[in-house]
Amino acid sequence: MTASTGKGAVTGTKRAAAAVPWEAVPRRGRGRPPKALAVSQEANSFFSRLQPGDSRTGSAGVLLVAEELQALRVLLHFGQPDFTTRHDTQQLLALPCPLCRPRALQTAAEALDPRLCELAEKLRPDQGKKAAELRDEGLRLVLGQMGTDLWRLEGHCCLSSLSLPFGQEEIQACRSDEEKGWKQDCCNQIDLLATATGAHQPGEASPVATASRALRESCRVSVSDSFWDEEFQLAIRRSLGVGIPLRVTDIRGAQVVVLLLPGAASISVTPEGLLCFSEALQDSLNSTATGADLEQKALPPGWFCATSRSSGKVYYYNENTQEATFECPAVDPPLPEGWTKQVSKSTGRVYYFHAERNLSTFDLPAP
């Protein structure tokens, strides 16, 4: 797989960029084309028969981008990997966005537990030690389409999954030669991939529905339907000041949704044991405010609202604090004389400053 850098490719990129919002256009000034996937000759032959968007791939996935504390909650909820049995997602890793660069991904090998390597060798004894080697090309191909703005997301992580090779029993149970070829020749060692990927099932009308289910089943994580909304995702990108695609394509041609979690998301555990990221206030989901109503609402400085064209839901985001929420932010009470409200450039935290007294505090000053 190669990436064209000719004049025609540049012109085509500019035309495409003009057709979509800037928040979904990746910057590639410092980017590098993804390196070709180093696999066997049989696997390369199989890849050549799969073109992006091929209906035979029949799958979709998600790459979850979350704040560090959110990512930690996901890792703790997922728990330790199983060292005895193969699963679609064997382990989850939180990779800091500034380190999601082609040459830095191999550092994920340091997180490999020797017991996972032993299990990989048992699953594919025909591959020997190679079965236990970490291959990062799957994730690198996805990240290579996202541009360099991803590297600027300080305090954020990409959640990646470790996938072990399929065992001979699963390979022999395949119903088609294509599936058998994929599992035998391509999934023959430990792979670093997007957060979750799953095959389309009857009744799933879109890649988002498939990706959402795959995230629940593989990672035990549920994300509110409203967060998958493209308008809401564009708002988060706008508040962060980054251009990151809404969707990219993986090695099999499947669409991978790039899902950014809002920092204000509520986190809970459902009775089914799913870690759920949802809106701060459920009542706001039923908002029936019109555009005229929204204009009449007084919002604090830095806040503005929008209505999703696809869902009709109202959401709010703050360009200064990079916060997005479905809850209408309250207007701050007037400050005592001499006090001003400030936002830390390093942490984004709100504080109050009195210039004459050279005094600052995180607490709201008393009248």
Predicted confidence band at 228 (pLDDT cuts at 50, 70, 90)? very high
CA–CA gap between residue 177 and residue 189 (Å, rounded): 20
- In the block, tokens 């929008």 appear at 306
Closest CA to 138 of 99, 186, 75, 183: 186
Q: What's the whole-number mean pLDDT along residues 310-331?
A: 66
CA–CA gap between residue 139 and residue 144 (Å, rounded): 8
> Which of 6-20, 42-56, 158-172 bottoms out in mean pLDDT, i.e. has the lowest?
6-20
CA–CA gap between residue 244 and residue 233 (Å, rounded): 10
Fold of 284-325: Ubiquitin Ligase Nedd4; Chain: W; (2.20.70)
Predicted confidence band at 350 (pLDDT cuts at 50, 70, 90)? confident
Q: What's the whole-number mean pLDDT along residues 41-57?
A: 44
Q: State if pTM tops 0.85.
A: no
Average pLDDT, the chain: 77
Predicted confidence band at 45 (pLDDT cuts at 50, 70, 90)? very low
Is 60 exceeded by the pLDDT of residue 297?
A: no
The string of pLDDT tens digits covering residues 171-209 is: 998 888 888 888 888 888 999 999 999 988 898 888 999
Of 27-36, 117-126, 184-193, where does the model show the most confidence?
117-126
- DSSP β-ladder status, 359-361 and 303-307: unpaired
Name the segment(s) of the chain with CATH classification 2.20.70: 284-325
Task: Please check whether residue 215 is in contact with residue 294, taking contact to mean a CB–CB distance below 8 angstroms.
Answer: no
What pLDDT is recorded for position 320? 64
Concatenated DSSP letters of 292-307: HHHHHS---TTEEEEE
What pLDDT is recorded for position 36? 39
Predicted confidence band at 54 (pLDDT cuts at 50, 70, 90)? very low
Task: Please check whether residue 150 is in contact with residue 143, taking contact to mean a CB–CB distance below 8 angstroms.
Answer: yes
Q: What's the whole-number mean pLDDT along residues 312-327?
A: 66
The C-alpha torsion from 279 through 285 and 287 to 292, rounded to 10°, is 60
